[in-house]
Amino acid sequence: MATREKLLASLHAATTFRGGDRPLTYSALARPYIDAGKRSLSERIALLIERLRGYDAEVSETTPQELHATITYVVEKSGRKQLVVPVGLPATWLGPATNWQRDNGSAHGTIDAADGVMTAASCAIADSGTIALHHGPLEGRRLLSLLPDWHLIVLHSCQIVETLPEYFARFVEPPGLVTWISGPSATADIEMTRIKGVHGPRFLSVIIVHDELSRPT
Amino acid sequence: MRASLFIACFNDIFFPQTGRAVVSLLRRLGVEIAFDARQTCCGQMHANSGYRPEAWHQAERFLRLYTEADHVVIPSTSCTAMIREQYPALFAAFGSESQKRELAALLPRVSEFSEFLIDKLGSADVGAYFPHRVAYHASCHGLRALRLGDRPYQLLAKVRGLELVELPNTERCCGFGGTFAVNNAEVSSAMLTAKLQDVLSTRAEICTALDNSCLMHLGGALHRQYAGMTVMHLAEILVRTETSFAEAAS
Amino acid sequence: MSGPILDPRYALPFAEAALPVLRNAQLRKNVAHAIDTIQAKRARLVAEKADWQALRDAASAIRSHVLEHLPGYLEEFETRCTAQGGIVHWAADAAEARDIALKILAEAKADSVVKVKSMTTAEIQLNAALEQRSIAVFETDLAEIILQLGDEEPSHIVVPALHVNRAQIREIFAREMNLPNLSDEPQALAEAARVFLRRKFLTSPAAISGANFLIAESGAVAVVESEGNGRMCLTLPQTLITIAGIEKVLPRFRDLEVFLQLLARSATGERMNPYTSLWTGVTPGDGPQNFHIILLDNRRSSILARPVERQTLKCIRCAACMNTCPVYRQTGGHAYGSVYPGPIGAILTPQLMGMQHAQSLPFASTLCGACYEVCPVKINIPEVLVELRAEVVAQGHQSIGGLFERLAMQVTSFVFRDERRFQVAQTFLRFLARLLTRKDGWIHALPAMGGKWTQTRDLPGLPPQSFRMWWRDNEAREPAKDA
């Protein structure tokens, strides 16, 4: 504890106001950068798709009515059989042909052995092609979307913002856990060549659900 | 318009022809030019080498000599940058309140040579004629400290007969850096070699700049290597006219 | 080992340390290729950002504000992090930080750790301390594995193995992972690392990380990475130790909107790095249940106390300064004798050493200003370099330019204080120069320190008439005289 008190005392001494310009308060800090984008929803979605494909992610689009069929199609096309899903994922998303495994705190080895994982997401930022997971019941524990080699994300169009500041405007209350994913894991450590897939999932697929095309039932 | 020339110690001793060109050109443009022989050095070498009290003497001397001047013109980007960027801190550390006020009033009247032509005289076309292939080296201080931008290119574009060739990686330092060239001579030489590759790739006859210290560095290596390219301060290009060429020929 | 020494206490002065590098053709080619590639990508992505300068202004203002209010924000972070189950430690110096980490690992009975690439742990030389206590250390960042297995030293803070090419990496992996048939395709090399480390991630009892940002309002920690090795370390082991410099704190979660737009673009030339993780203390059922964070001073508080040098602490470790630096471009990182190379290393390293070591580093720059131009938080590195040079000179340190320089500076200063002395000195200089000037009008060899100039360049001989002589002879009669 002695270090803490001594250190804080020296930091207080170092930061005591000694004339010159008064330090600004937090709320007085200027933020002259662009906060909100100008794109329409469809332009925003188009930009996100362009960015995701730029990262070698696969993207499909669907409507709320056809989501179930699209998931089945994407999973079957991938040829993967054993998929893990978070506890809270709607049962209506899960097709019969796949061996879906609900994560109830399964052992690391079990999740590592799965062919893939399907989760929802909290938000996507079109400008940088970033998908945000906050790890609630629909997004699962962090390791769930990390160990399997394929990550399938279901994203709703209403979750897509254009800029990073728009994301932060949506989540004023800081989430406890956050993972921002911008493409599959990658490295450029070998001669600056971008290599897809080192430790995280090497394959990323995204299904965008066009809520605006939802037909009232 | 009246202007006082601060030649810089380095130009005074090594490159008097630059000073003569500035005087001749400014007169041609109708400027009444003065030279106060009490001037010595801006203090850049001392300040950048960590010898602050030594630099302070030069800074104080500069203020004393020029506080009454209408305009001060300096044909050196790094000396102008020294005065603009480092004098305020030197005066804050060593100067009196009245000196700080005088400096603040003087600084807007201190111009680098190309700034003076474009910003104060408003003339990109100074009536120059120079029928040669020329590359322009942007000098770090001109580029980033003074932010000269396209001023030198505006001036070069209006020189009749001149063919301007683009110098690749022009934002990259030539490796001079004052005492760096001696204290880190081998690294400095490696940087110089890289710069020379770019300079020679232009196949220009002349490499010009707004700072003779960069040019001494580049020119010294070009001469050592029998590269067949020479260096010349921009003022020495702008001062040439059809008449001066005819006179030189006859 | 005959390689470079990255401990400022024992490293050679920069000019000497640079010599073997300047002669190493392969290393220089590797370095130039890597930084040219990053710079081209960065330039493209910065150009598409219409509000780049506004983001830099905001980032600079936020970082300055944090430093002005550092103790308050650290206490806020501590309170929030503790409330969420994290354990906060404070370390005055490297030794104390290492001791705290060792104690935590002993309590967790951990005999091995996986590590996320962290400059702070390199700064405090943690790996050596762990290995001394027989704790197996596994670096997990691809570049760090290359260095660890190849017994190489890092030469860059973001891409630490940029001086090693694929053929060299293949040799290291083939030997150390026992894969004689490994190809030198980057994809195959990355796959080898993936397989090599997967078991370690799944079985390691503890992990050690650095931090990119600490969020005061929530007590969260942010780690920015590319490969997913960070996520593995941050979620799989039961015990997690994060070591962070005290300057890393940001006031609010929202402030990341500024820094995450700047960091990846500046560091790797990407719009966003593949993975960024934030966690807040301990989350039941998700990730390490035993989370410790060590807040490290190690002379940061004394940097904070100095008004000009303080801006050094605004740094977010993006490495844009070294990527653009014309000196670094020639020498790479090893010549700096520190885990922090390049322009930021040239100002940070001597300050972390209390100005008692690495005094040659502030002089390892031409003050060209390229670093300031690209810095996303607008650290005026040339200004700090000049400030530190003045400190080194004030210390009476002789090893930089030597006594000769000190004498030359004092003599020239004496001369410049009076125009008559300057006139006399000019005459004397012309006399000396005439002795050295060849028929072609140039000086080809200078004596003493001047020989450092003429080893690669000639020097123009002095014209017979200086400018002031010409003015006196031709112009002084005219009345136009100012001042």
* A77 inside domain: yes
CA C32, chain centre distance (Å): 17
Is the CA virtual torsion C214, C219, C220, C223 positive or negative?
Answer: positive
List residues bridging with A116 in a β-sheet. Answer: A83
Rounded average pLDDT over B109-126:
97
- The count of other CB atoms within 10 Å of the CB of residue A170 is 12
Beta strands in B38-191 (DSSP E): 72-74, 110-112, 133-136, 163-165
Beta strands across the sheet bearing A123-125: A160-161, A123-125, A130-133, A178-181, C275-280, C220-225, C213-215, C249-250
Question: Of all helices (H) and strands (E), which one includes residue C135?
Answer: none
Q: Report the phi/psi class of residue C228: left, alpha or beta, with left for phi > 0 and alpha for psi in -120 to 50.
A: left
Beta carbon pairs, A and C, within 8 Å: 232
* A126 inside domain: yes
A37 Cβ under 8 Å from any chain C Cβ: no
**Residue C402: what pLDDT?**
75
CATH architecture of C314-394: Orthogonal Bundle (1.10)
**Residue C97: what pLDDT?**
98
Residues in C 174-233 with any Cβ partner in A closer than 8 A: 186-187, 189-190, 193-194, 197-198, 201-202, 215, 217-218, 220, 226-229, 231-232
CA distance C185 to C177: 16
Residue ranges of chain C whose pLDDT lies below 50: 1, 480-483
Tell how strand A82-85 and strand A203-209 pair up. unpaired
Tell me if residue C446 falls in helix, strand or coil.
Answer: coil
B13 Cβ under 8 Å from any chain C Cβ: yes
**Residue C5: what pLDDT?**
83
Binary contact (B144, C372; C-beta < 8 A): yes
CB contacts of A26 in chain C (<8 Å) are: 65, 251-252
pLDDT category at A190 given cuts 50, 70, 90 is confident
Binary contact (A186, C227; C-beta < 8 A): yes
Rounded average pLDDT over A41-55:
96
Beta strands across the sheet bearing B110-112: B32-34, B2-5, B72-74, B110-112
Beta strands in C332-445 (DSSP E): 442-443
Q: Which of B46, B140, B187 sits opposite C18 (nearest CB)?
A: B187
**Residue A204: what pLDDT?**
95
Beta carbon pairs, B and C, within 8 Å: 223
Asked if residues A185 and A151 have their Cβ atoms less than 8 Å apart, the reply is no
**Residue C483: what pLDDT?**
38
Q: Number of folded domains in chain A?
A: 1
**Residue C399: what pLDDT?**
56
Terminal-residue alpha carbon distance, chain A: 63
Binary contact (C232, A199; C-beta < 8 A): yes
CA distance C113 to C122: 15
Domain residue extents for chain B: 2-120, 133-249
Residues in A 75-104 with any Cβ partner in C closer than 8 A: none
How does pLDDT run across A23-33, given as a tens digit for each residue?
A: 899 999 999 99
Cα–Cα distances in angstroms (integers) from residue A79 to residues A103, A205, B190, in the given order: 21, 13, 56
**ipTM of the complex, rounded to two decimals:** 0.96
CA distance A49 to A127: 10
Tokens of A28: 């007085």
Of C126, C284, C136, C319, residue with least CA distance to C212: C319
Q: Which of C50, C190, C271 sits opposite A129 (nearest CB)?
A: C271
Q: Which of C65, C71, C235 sits opposite A29 (nearest CB)?
A: C65
Q: What are phi and psi of A125, to 5 degrees?
A: -110, 110
Tokens of C57: 């202004």
CA C186, chain centre distance (Å): 26
* A75 inside domain: yes
pLDDT category at A215 given cuts 50, 70, 90 is low
CB contacts of C445 in chain B (<8 Å) are: none
Tokens of B81: 């940058």
Q: Which of C15, C416, C481 sits opposite B186 (nearest CB)?
A: C15
- Percent of residues, chain B, with pLDDT higher than 90: 96
**Residue C360: what pLDDT?**
95
Half-sphere exposure of B165 (CA within 13 A, CB side): 16
Q: Which of C386, C405, C419 sits opposite B47 (nearest CB)?
A: C386
Q: A4, A6, A11, A193: which to substitute to probe chain C, counting the most C Cβ within 10 Å?
A: A11
Instruction: Quote the domain boundaries for residue A127.
Output: 39-213
Residues in B 154-173 with any Cβ partner in C closer than 8 A: 171-173
Q: What are phi and psi of A130, to 5 degrees?
A: -105, 135
Q: B133-249 in CATH: which number?
A: 3.40.50
**Residue C479: what pLDDT?**
52
* A155 inside domain: yes
Cβ-based neighbours of C333, under 8 Å, separated by 6 or more = C154, C155, C156, C163, C322, C341, C342, C345
Q: Report the phi/psi class of residue B97: left, alpha or beta, with left for phi > 0 and alpha for psi in -120 to 50.
A: alpha
**Residue A217: what pLDDT?**
52
Tell me if residue A98 falls in helix, strand or coil.
Answer: coil
CB contacts of C444 in chain B (<8 Å) are: 224
Tell me if residue C310 falls in helix, strand or coil.
Answer: helix
List residues bridging with C241 in a β-sheet. Answer: C208, C292
Asked if residues C264 and C226 have their Cβ atoms less than 8 Å apart, the reply is no
- Smallest Cα distance from C184 to chain A, Å: 10
Q: Render the burial of B117-141: b for 16+ CB within 10 Å, e for the rest.
A: bbebbeebebbbbbebebbbbbbbb
CATH code of residue A121: 3.40.50.10420
Find where tokens 């310009």 sit.
A21
**Residue A17: what pLDDT?**
83
**Residue A85: what pLDDT?**
97
How does pLDDT run across B139-194, given as a tens digit for each residue?
A: 999 999 999 999 999 999 999 999 999 999 999 999 999 999 999 999 999 999 99
CB contacts of C470 in chain B (<8 Å) are: 16, 19-20
Compare all CA atoms of chain B with the CA of C463 and give the residue at the minimum distance. B14
Question: Of all helices (H) and strands (E), which one includes residue A99?
Answer: strand A99-102
Tell which wins on pLDDT, C1 or A149: A149
**Residue C443: what pLDDT?**
97
Domain C14-301 class in CATH: alpha beta
**Residue C3: what pLDDT?**
66
Tokens of C478: 């005219």
